[in-house]
Each structure stands twice: as structure tokens, then as C-alpha cells.
Amino acid sequence: MENTSSDIRQLNEKIHQASAFVDLLNMELGKVIVGQRYMVERLLIGLLAQGHVLLEGVPGLAKTLSIKSLSSAINAKFSRIQFTPDLLPADVVGTMIYNQQKNEFVVRKGPIFANFILADEINRAPAKVQSALLEAMQERQITIGDNTFKLDDPFLVLATQNPIEQEGTYTLPEAQVDRFMLKVVIGYPTKEEERHIIRQNLNPEASAPIRAVIQPADILEARKLVREVYMDEKIEKYIIDIVFATRNPEEYKLQKLKPLISYGGSPRASINLALAAKAYAFMKRRGYVIPEDVRSICFDVMRHRVGLTYEAEAENVTSENILSEILNAVEVP
């Protein structure tokens, strides 16, 4: 059914009111997290668009603090799993334990049974463990023995990867990386932010604790609204053009990119780009998507979905470079 002009006006009003909690959340998180607005914004996009986030950044950039604070502000259950080479799937999802008194096996749930999971250094665990986590992310349910458990909703996995120290790591295969809606690359704070961080840490009593400003149920409601955000067919075409330009750059007068791209974005890329753009529009308190929304989250949605050839790697061309070229070549509606 096509939306009419008045429908969109009403929707816009509705979303403008419903998205007020985003500012509240930002304020609350701002109490403990200095800077990193970009990362926090992407976490919220993942939360609202029901997608998981892969974070890449050096240690000490407040990744854990961010997700922990976010879960506190939403009054949700948080769990952290440090991935190590000797980790087993049962350490993540749980296992059956024999109860001697009752003379039966009982299920002991793993740390994955929480709303927010921080999978720290996911590439340090072997493929079997990664696969267990990624399967849970996809299916949103866990089977232990004969019992199947639905995971809590909202369920957001924030996995981290360290771009340095690649020795002894198990790089996530492309098919599994594709399951993350966003891959966010975070950098160091600015000088001013760093000064605030120092002061805040030297005087921890001064910073107020995070309080719950919304409930998980509010997030579930917001998710429904995100899906309702209006996306014009011009925007849909723009998204498709971007994704197709990663597959067939020569059709967009980008022949020079052809030898640099080994594979382009999958249909999952288009879906996630559309969903993330809607979530971004929601956070900007709009009931419709504009090209700015698509461009703002394009790098985070697409950077792990564009495969580079050896030639590109030899020339130090990154997926970000390729995406920039594409965005500069595809006409904005």
C-alpha cells in the first residue's frame, strides 16, 4: 500500500516524538563516555535496526565502557566474553551439567543469554567458537541438548577486532563477517576529548552513574517504527546503484575499480544499507530517508562487504577508497 502525503506527515510527527529517547540516551552516555559519538551512534543504529556491530580499533578506546553504559541506560542485561584460543562453544552458549542430587542433566546457560554481548577480540577464538556465536546471532536462538532457547530481545552483539597483533588469530571468513550489519572503525579521541578523559578518570567520584532512561520494551517499540520510516523509490534506486557499483563498477564509468574488487556487496548489503539508513533517519528524528542518511552509514555497512584483490592490496587501496570513488560517481537522486 502506497503512503500518501498526509500519512508521511503523521508518521514524521510520530517518529519525531518517539525518537526523543535518542537524545536522552546520548545525554546519559555522555556522562561517562567522552567523544566516541560516532561509535555510540552506530551502536544505536545496530540496536534500532536489529543488526550486530563489528568494531575495529586499538585497545583502550572505551569499547567495553560504551556497550556496558548503553546496556545500563536501557536497563538491559550485559555480558562480556573474552575470546581466547582455548575457548569452547559450550563456554559461549552453555552446556548440560549432571545434577547428582536430582540424578539428571540440567542446562547451564552460557553468557550469550543477555541483551548486550561484547565479544571481545572475536578473531582470537577458533572457527568453531566464532561459528557458534555467529549462528546464535543469525538464528537468535540456542539449542543445548534437546532444548531450544530463544535469546532475549533486544539482542545485540558487539564484536571487537584488534587491527594490530594479527599473529595467532583466526580471521573471520567473509561469509561470517557479512552477518554483521555494521563494521565500525574507531579512532583515537581528539586532544580536547583526551583532556576530558584524563580529568574524568582522575576524579571518578565526580561523574554520575548511568541510570536507566528507557526500558528494553521501548527499544522493541522503536524498532517497529524504524521499519515504518518512509523510503522513497528514488532512495531505493540510489542504494541499489551503490551496491551494484561495487559489483559492476564499469557500468558506472569506474573501469579503474574493476581490477581492484574481487567481489561486491551481496543482497544482504542492500537490505542492511536500507535498514541502517532508516534507523539513521529515525535517530535524526525524521520519518523519511534522505540521501544523506544513506551516505552517512554507507561506509560502515559496506566496508566489510567489498572484497579486495591482491592488486588492490599491493597498491594499498582500501575498501574505503573504493567506496569513496563509488559515492563520488553514483548520481544522488
Partner 1 sequence: MYKQQVIRRILLSFFIGLLFPLGLLAQNTLEVTARADSSSIRIGEQVKLHLKATVPAAVFNKPEFRLLLPVVPDSMDHFEVVTRSNPDTLTQQDMKVLQQTLTITSFDSGHWEFPPLKFEVYGATGANSVDTLFSQPLAFDVNTVAVDTTKAFKPIKTVQAVPWNIWDYWPYMAGGGAIVLIALGLWLYFRKRPEKKPVEKLPLVTPYDLARQQLKSLKEEQLWQQGDIKQYYTRLTDILRTYFEHQFGIAALEQTSEELLKNIKPVTKLNQQRDKLRSLLAIADLAKFAKLQPTADEHVDCMVKAEEILEWTRPKEEPAAQTPGAPDEKPQTGA
**Near partner 1 in 31-60, by CB under 8 A:** none
- How far is residue 280's CA from residue 38's CA, in Å, rounded to a whole number? 12
Closer Cβ to partner 1, 180 or 282, answer by number:
282
Q: Which residues make beta-bridge pairs with 148?
A: 143
Binding status of residue 80 toward partner 1 by CB under 8 A:
no
Binding status of residue 333 toward partner 1 by CB under 8 A:
yes
**Near partner 1 in 7-26, by CB under 8 A:** 8-9, 12
Q: Which residues make beta-bridge pairs with 147?
A: 144
Tell which one of 30, 126, 291, 307 touches partner 1 (CB under 8 A): 291
Q: Smallest distance from the beta carbon of 179 to partner 1, in angstroms?
A: 29
- How far is residue 322's CA from residue 198's CA, in Å, rounded to a whole number? 37
Q: Smallest distance from the beta carbon of 183 to partner 1, in angstroms?
A: 22
Q: Which residues make beta-bridge pairs with 97?
A: 106
- How far is residue 213's CA from residue 23's CA, in Å, rounded to a whole number? 10
Cell of 226: 524504524
Task: Report the SS3 class of residue 158.
Answer: strand
Tell which one of 1, 5, 163, 224 touches partner 1 (CB under 8 A): 5
Binding status of residue 299 toward partner 1 by CB under 8 A:
no
Tell which one of 196, 227, 234, 237 touches partner 1 (CB under 8 A): 234
Tell which one of 151, 280, 287, 322 touches partner 1 (CB under 8 A): 287
Site size for partner 1 (CB under 8 A): 25
- How far is residue 291's CA from residue 300's CA, in Å, rounded to a whole number? 15
Q: Smallest distance from the beta carbon of 269 to partner 1, in angstroms?
A: 20
Closer Cβ to partner 1, 6 or 101, answer by number:
6
Which among 171-179, 264-272, 284-292, 310-318 is the span making contact with partner 1, rule CB under 8 A? 284-292
Which strands make up the sheet holding 116-120, listed edge to edge?
78-82, 116-120, 156-161, 53-56, 182-185
> In Å, how far from its chain's centre is CA 258?
28
> In Å, how far from its chain's centre is CA 332?
25
Nearest-10 crossing angle of helices 37-48, 216-228: 80
Question: H-helix or E-strand containing 141?
Answer: strand 141-144
- How far is residue 135's CA from residue 52's CA, in Å, rounded to a whole number? 12
Nearest Cα residue to 129 out of 88, 81, 175, 80: 88
Q: Smallest distance from the beta carbon of 272 to partner 1, in angstroms?
A: 20
User: DSSP assignment, residue 96?
Assistant: E
Closer Cβ to partner 1, 31 or 285, answer by number:
285
Which among 13-21, 87-95, 190-198, 231-239 is the span making contact with partner 1, rule CB under 8 A? 231-239
Closer Cβ to partner 1, 11 or 54, answer by number:
11
Which among 71-79, 94-102, 133-141, 285-293 is the span making contact with partner 1, rule CB under 8 A? 285-293
Tell which one of 295, 307, 309, 321 touches partner 1 (CB under 8 A): 295
Cell of 121: 577480540
**Per-residue mark of binding to partner 1, 130-169 (x: CB under 8 A):** ----------------------------------------
Burial of 83 (0-12, 13-18, 19+ CB in 10 A): buried
- Decide if 111 contacts 79 (C-beta within 8 A): yes
Binding status of residue 4 toward partner 1 by CB under 8 A:
yes
Binding status of residue 240 toward partner 1 by CB under 8 A:
no
Note the residues at the interface with partner 1 (CB under 8 A).
3-5, 8-9, 12, 230, 232, 234-235, 286-292, 295, 327-333
